[in-house]
Each structure stands twice: as structure tokens, then as C-alpha cells.
Amino acid sequence: MFFVNPSGAGPLDDNGEKKIRPYARKDTFLLPGVVEVTIKSVASPVSAPACARRHDVPAVVFSTAGYTDNFFHDNTDVMIPLFLSTAHFAGEVQLLITNYKPWWVAKFAPLLKKLSNYEVINFEKEEEVHCFPGGQLGLYRDRDLIIGPHPTRNPRNLTMVDYNRFLRRAFGLPRDAPAVLGEKMAVRPKMLMIERKGTRKLLNLRAVQALCEELGFEVTVAEAGADVRAFAETVNAADVLLAVHGAGLTNQIFLPTGAVLVQIVPWGKMDWMATNFYGQPARDMQLRYVEYYVSEEETTLKDKYSRDHYVFKNPMQIHAGGWPALAEIVMKQDVMVNVTRFKPFLLKALDQLQD
């Protein structure tokens, strides 16, 4: 990229250049796989390649490398930063993508088309020279599933509530608010239970479903699939979303404002991860939030480790081993909740709908 910059000012090296990998999550493990873009400062347009196509709108360049194809990271690393960086253009912006993945662009086409009135450009395959009045290389990012106030990154004070509304408009989701229950339930509140087929399965899912139905919920059990719009519609139809900790909880972004999120937190001192990845974001989205921590009697880790093992005696020792230890121990367990112990948390979810 050439930057016409008569003053020569800016965070450039001695050659008037700067190299940037435009992936919003600055993870040293990931970044080598992100295409590096060199921006070169030139004193005047004649010093840059001649324009083949001129655009009247600014450009925003970003990468779809990294952890994309995990729904949590699709949002935290790309879509939320893209929303934060481009929503104020009201569609009058050109998106250019490095590490272009056709399937990813197709998967999120409704959102990309809502943010830009123009077809996205594959940065690496485009052979013509495009000229723009301005641009941004890389995206602004706050925290996972969080958009906080910031004088430069977020001068318009966008929030996750704004992002959720953007999603509802892009996918044509009808519900902005959940069912409100009175003293007597005239309607059965709808609950969506997200089923996991890999790790962190809810082994007694059917027993939990039966308990929820006994308490008055109309329950749907579904597994998040590749069709984002279809599953968004399923989530938006729910008043309560229930799932074991994992990327499926990211689907809270499609819930109507004021709905309830119930997170089942596996064993292993997961307080920080449960709260920061999903609990605080839920509150920032103006959702009601209930979390349930499984006991050592409710995890399959009890079948693998003795009760005097540090997994039970000092679970923080797992965290000391970093992500590899968490991935190998905490993230590979399944859970079987004690329905008697779990019942008050479901009643709390019901109570939070009775406004």
C-alpha cells in the first residue's frame, strides 16, 4: 500500500515504511500465518503507481486468517472489530481482505453487505492499482465479545447492544425482547439448549430437558451449525439460552435484549474464563445472566483423577500450566449435573423473565 504523505510523518522506519499484519487479535502464535502488508510513504501521487481504478470511499484492510472458523473467534477477532471500525461509514467503505477465504466471506455475507455497499476485494489476488481518498490498515479491537468506551477507538460510544441490533437487522431477526411472564404463565417461555457433540458434553441432557419442561419451559435442543442465519433465527426465538461453557455460548449475540443466558461452568476454577468470555459480555448486551459451577461429583474428571490429585485439591495448578494444560484437562471433561442442585438456577432464570 502506498500512502501519499507529503510531510513524511508517522510511525515509519528509515525507508518510510511500516509492515503490519492486519489481524485484530495480536497473538504471537497466530501472526506468522497472517499476510504481512507493507505500507510505504511517498511524497506525492507521482511517486506511487498509476491508478487503474479510483474509489470515492475509504478502504479498510483486514485479514481472515488466525482462528476464524471458530464462531467465538469469527466474532471477537473479525466481525466485532470490523463493526467497531466501519459502522460509522454507513456502508460507504470498501473492504479489502487478506488471507481471503471464500467460504468465510460467503458465511458472513449478510453482515459484510450490511457494513459495505460494495463487493469485497481479495487483496492478494487483485492485480489492478486501486486508489482511495483514505483508509485503515487493520481493525480496532477491544476485548472478547466486549465493546467499551474509548476516545479514539470508539468515539461514537458503540456498545455490544448496538452490535446485537446490527446482527438482528442483517439477518432479519424479528425479536428485540423476550416473553415477559406475569404471576401466572400465560405462555411457556422458550428455552434453547445447545448440545455439544465433542468435549464438555452435558451427559444427562435429556434429564435436564425433562426438568426444564416440568418447570414450564418449552425446550428446543439443537447443535450450532455452519448456517449462521438459520441458527441465529433459532436463538432469536428463545427467551433462555442454556449451554455448557464453550464457543456455542457466543450465540448469545442473537438473543433478544433482556433474554436470559445460563452457563454451565465445568470443573477447574473456570471463574475468570466463565465471567470474562461470556458472563460480562452477557451483561454488556443487557441480557440476564445465570451461571452454574459443577461440583467434583458432576465432572468426568473424577473418573480419571483421584480426589487427592491437584486437579481437585488445587485446580489453579492446572492454570499454571497455561493453555496446553487447560486444553488437555479442563476442556476435555464432560459434565452430568445434579438436577436437584441445578433446579434453583433454572427457577432463577424463570424469575428473571417475570418483569
Angstrom distance (rounded) from CA 287 to CA 276: 15
pLDDT digits over 47-102, tens only?
999 999 999 999 999 999 999 989 999 999 999 999 999 999 999 999 999 999 99
Q: What predicted TM-score, i.e. pTM, was given to this entire model? A: 0.93
Beta bridge partners of 54: 131
As a whole number of angstroms, the distance between CA 42 and CA 47 comes to: 6
**How high is the mean pLDDT of the chain?**
94
185 pLDDT band, cuts 50/70/90, is low
Q: Is the pLDDT of residue 193 over 70?
A: yes
Q: pLDDT by residue (tens digit) across 267-316?
A: 999 999 999 999 999 999 999 999 999 999 999 999 999 999 999 999 99
Query: All domains of the chain, ordered by start, with CATH?
Result: 2-153 (no CATH), 190-352 (3.40.50)
Q: Residue 352 burial by CB count (10 A; 0-12/13-18/19+): exposed, middle or buried?
A: buried
Q: What is the pLDDT of residues 103-161, one digit of tens each?
A: 999 999 999 999 999 999 999 999 999 999 999 999 999 989 999 999 988 989 999 99
Closest CA to 316 of 283, 273, 346: 273
Average confidence (pLDDT) over 181-205: 86
**Average pLDDT score over residue span 34-58:** 94
CA dist., res. 217 & res. 168, Å (int): 24
Contacts of 231 (CB under 8 A, 6+ apart): 222, 224, 225, 251, 254
C-alpha cell at 7: 510531510
- 185, 215 Cβ separation under 8 angstroms: no
